Structure 1
Amino acid sequence: MASGTLLYAQSGGVTAVINATASAVIQTARARKVKVLAARNGILGALREELIDTSRESAAAIAALAHTPGGAFGSCRVKLKSLDADRPRYERLLDVLRAHDVRWFLYNGGNDSADTALKVSQLADEYGYPLTCVGVPKTVDNDLAVTDCCPGFGSAAKYTAVSVRECALDVAAMADTSTKVFVYEAMGRHAGWLAAAGGLAGNGPDAAPHLILFPERPYVEADFLRRVQAVVDRVGYCVVVASEGIQTADGRFVADAGGGKDSFGHTQLGGVASFLAGRVKDELKLKVHWTLPDYLQRSARHLASKTDLAQALAVGKAAVDYALKGMNAVMPVITRTSDAPYRWKVEAAPLDRIANHEKKMPKAFIRKDGYGITDAARQYLEPLIRGEAPPPYGRDGLPRYVTLKNILVPARLPAFEG
Structure 2
Amino acid sequence: MTKKNAFYAQSGGVTAVINASAAGVIEAARQHHDTIGTVYAGRDGIVGALTEDLIDTSAETDETIAALRHTPAGAFGSARYKLKSLEENRAQYERLIEVFKAHNIGYFFYNGGGDSADTCEKISHLSDEMGYPIQAIHIPKTMDNDLPHTDCSPGFGSVAKYTAVSIREAGFDLHSMCKTSTKVFILEVMGRHAGWTAAAGGLAAEVEGDAPHILLFPEIEFDRAKFLAKVDATVKAHGFCTIVASEGVEVANDRDDRDIDAFGHVQLGGVAPTLAELIKKELGYKYHYAIADYLMRAARHIASATDVEQAYAVGRAAVEYAVAGKSGVMVTIDRQNDAPYEWTIGEAPLSEVANVEKFMPRNFISDDGFHITDAARRYLKPLIAGESYPPYVDGLPDYARLTLAPVAKKLGTSFEV
Deviation at 1:27, TM superposition (A): 0.5
Counterpart AA for 1:10: Q
TM-score by length of structure 1 reads: 0.97
Unaligned runs of 5+ in 2: none
Q: Residues 120-135 of structure 1 correspond to what in structure 2 (within 5 A)? A: 120-135=123-138
- Structure 2 residue 92 is the aligned partner of structure 1 residue 89: yes
| Structure 2 partner of 1:238 | 241
Deviation at 1:93, TM superposition (A): 1.0
Deviation at 1:2, TM superposition (A): 6.0
- Using the TM superposition, name which of 199-208 and 220-229 deviates more: 199-208
- Structure 2 residue 157 is the aligned partner of structure 1 residue 154: yes
- Structure 2 residue 207 is the aligned partner of structure 1 residue 204: yes
- Structure 2 residue 77 is the aligned partner of structure 1 residue 74: yes
Give the whole-Å Cα distance in 2 for the aligned partners of 1:70 and 1:340. 31
Counterpart AA for 1:185: E
- Structure 2 residue 353 is the aligned partner of structure 1 residue 354: yes
Q: Residues 160-239 of structure 1 correspond to what in structure 2 (within 5 A)? A: 160-239=163-242
Counterpart AA for 1:283: E
Unaligned runs of 5+ in 1: none
Q: Residues 14-413 of structure 1 correspond to what in structure 2 (within 5 A)? A: 14-33=14-33, 34=36, 35-247=38-250, 256=255, 258-394=257-393, 396-413=394-411
- Using the TM superposition, name which of 161-170 and 408-417 deviates more: 408-417
Deviation at 1:86, TM superposition (A): 1.4
Give the whole-Å Cα distance in 2 for the aligned partners of 1:194 and 1:253. 23
Deviation at 1:258, TM superposition (A): 4.9
Give the whole-Å Cα distance in 2 for the aligned partners of 1:10 and 1:299. 15
Q: Is the 8 A contact 1:258 1:268 kept in 2?
A: no
Q: Is the 8 A contact 1:180 1:237 kept in 2?
A: yes
CA-based RMSD of the aligned residues comes to 1.3
Counterpart AA for 2:17: V
**Count of residues paired in the alignment:** 413
Counterpart AA for 1:332: V
CA distance 1:162–1:120, change in 2 (3 Å) = same
Percent identity of paired positions between Structure 1 and Structure 2: 56
Deviation at 1:259, TM superposition (A): 4.4
Give the whole-Å Cα distance in 2 for the aligned partners of 1:340 and 1:57. 39
Give the whole-Å Cα distance in 1 for the aligned partners of 2:166 and 2:259. 30
- Using the TM superposition, name which of 99-108 and 2-11 deviates more: 2-11
Runs of 4+ in 1 over 3 A off after TM superposition: 256-259
Deviation at 1:203, TM superposition (A): 2.3
1:11-66 superposed Cα distances (whole Å, 9 cap, x missing partner): 00000000000011001001111210000111111000000000011111111000
Counterpart AA for 1:303: I
Give the whole-Å Cα distance in 2 for the aligned partners of 1:210 and 1:204. 11
Give the whole-Å Cα distance in 2 for the aligned partners of 1:121 and 1:82. 14
Deviation at 1:310, TM superposition (A): 0.6
Deviation at 1:417, TM superposition (A): 3.0
| Structure 2 partner of 1:10 | 10
TM-score by length of structure 2 reads: 0.97
Counterpart AA for 1:186: V
